[in-house]
Amino acid sequence: MPTWLILVLVGVVLVILGVATEIGQFLIWIGVIVLVVSLILGFVGRRRT
């Protein structure tokens, strides 16, 4: 599983359970940021070849 997906899933579970909602939201945002960065790097990498 990709790292971003694990972070988002853990964050969603924490938010749904109501445990450490701030940490859950933080993990969701980190997961989204990692996803966007990996997509941008993948796009740039394909363009150079």
pTM, rounded to two decimals:
0.73
pLDDT digits 0-9 by tens, 4-46: 898 999 989 988 888 878 888 998 899 999 999 998 988 888 8
pLDDT surpasses 80 at 49:
no
3-state DSSP assignment of residue 49 = coil
Higher-scoring residue by pLDDT: 1, 44? 44
Compute how many other C-beta atoms are within 10 angstroms of the C-beta atom of residue 21.
13
Residue ranges of domains in the chain: 3-48
> Under the phi-then-psi rule, with left for phi > 0, alpha for psi from -120 to 50, and beta for the rest, what region is 35?
alpha
User: For residue 36, what pLDDT is reported?
Assistant: 92
